[in-house]
Structure 1
Amino acid sequence: MAAESSVPSYHPLFNDPVADTVVLSREATLFRVPSFVLRRTTGYFAATLPVTLTATAEPVPLDEPAALLARIFSILCGLPPPGPELDFPTAEAVLALAERWSAPGVTARMRDAITGPAFLAEPLRLYAVAARAGWAEEARLASRGTLALGLYDEKHEEGLRRLRTPDLLALLALHRRRRDILDRMLSGEDTEGVNAAAVSGRCAVCGLQTENYAWREYRARIFVEMDTRALGDTVTGSAVDDWREALACWSTKCAGAECGKVLYERETILPQIKACIDKLPKTV
């Protein structure tokens, strides 16, 4: 039985007798592929295949799994992709083999497929693949998707390890810039930020200057939230009404005699914060 199981068999999609090159996979699966296709689409086979092949030529052994060869040969031959839907492990394996074989057409096909919904759902992994491949547009798209992630969470440690140092630094810088730029905008000192008068603690009615401690505490809470989730969607929605710092802000009133005006208007401040967030850098 062991001897019978080791006998090579042809892959059902690559068993055309007209194809003049036979390739042997790691598991002893045979693939018939036209030599002119292999030479024209890959630098590896262009350099290694004999110009003239005979019917009795030995199969070309490759230390690659059959599933991977079926995927990449389908691309080279213009056939529908075999097997299950493309996923990250398969895409990464195909890209690695395309690099070893110098197969730019395969790389281009992967680039077209890499921004599908399944890949966008894992922006950190997509960023690693795109940045390593030098795909600037796809890397920027993926970096925007990472804004919803807390990069310092332990669950993302493996994903960050996949990144080359320059790519990692660029991603961390994007998250940090959003946090720091927003903090400056909320200080009242940035002309493109919140209205300075609205957060100064000075009453707009009687002009009494009050210590703006409540606003500074609220701003510090926003800083922490942005450090955790740089997207900024958690600092402008209704969830902030549960923050102790936000409640303190909305309830702070002018101490002037017979005034009592609310110093920090929720309906004014939150739209201004949202407008600030919309101005932040979104990609590496």
Structure 2
Amino acid sequence: MENLYTVQDFIRWTTSQMSQSDVYLGHGTDNPIDEAKQLILETLGLSLFIPPEFFAANLTNDEKKQLFDIIQKRIVDRVPTPYLTNQAWFCGHRFYIDERVLIPRSPIGELINHHFQELLPYNPKNILDLCTGSGCIGIACAYAFPDAQIDITDISLEALDVAQTNIDLHEMTYQVTPILSDLFNAVPEKQYDLIVSNPPYVDDEDMSDLPDEFLYEPKLALEAGFDGLDIIKRILLDAINYLTPHGVLVCEVGNSWVSLQEQYPDVPFNWIQFENGGHGVFSLTCEELIKYRYCFE
């Protein structure tokens, strides 16, 4: 550490350390350079988009020690970077994150950025975000559809505390409403044009093989039974009661898409292709949910 002086020195050294270790990258970055930049710059309270001349700035001894300690936590203890910096980015917006919620990384963000083109016949007036966690999906939807009202739900009161922090951070109090609910149990009796959900979907086999970084995330937000479909099956059965006649359900199931397709071979799941990577997200219209309800029952 005595030979490291500048912001750039620490980014370069941290990149090398990460490249030589077996840390898992996938909580917002996919390469050690971006991971190192996020860790170093946000720890120093600097923007990820600082002017180039800032990289040559010398650091104080206190800043060096702070960086060294946090780099050790990332590489040795395997704590994900967003939990160390309490920040994560989703759909171009910054969110507060801690270990009470999953780290935002859903490919649904790409759909939000494109306003759910080809999935929604019109701009939605009411949106429901099930299993919201940090609230990132619901709040990003509020940015995409400023005239819509968004309800966000979670079974975890701790998660909703984080979501409320983000609602306040983004000044969305009058557009985004948090609801403590086990899926639809406490949801208001109204219909939504769009229901979007990134629920728990990790099956037992995948839970036992997760990288160490995932052990810091709440199990409640990950595990979903033997086949990973415990929550998804409930959503498929009940969503019909909360959708408008032309409403759409968008749901992420990750690797459990294989089990879902095998168990419901007659259901025409629309598996969405992503330009920026990601898989295991389907959409179904209200009409399709009605037509194939017998499968879910």
Q: TM-score range by the shorter chain?
A: under 0.3
| Structure with the higher fraction of residues in strand conformation | 2
When the two structures are superposed, what TM-score results if normalisation uses the length of structure 1?
0.27
| Structure with the higher fraction of residues in helix conformation | 1
Q: Which has the higher contact order (CA 8 A, sep 6+)?
A: 2
When the two structures are superposed, what TM-score results if normalisation uses the length of structure 2?
0.26
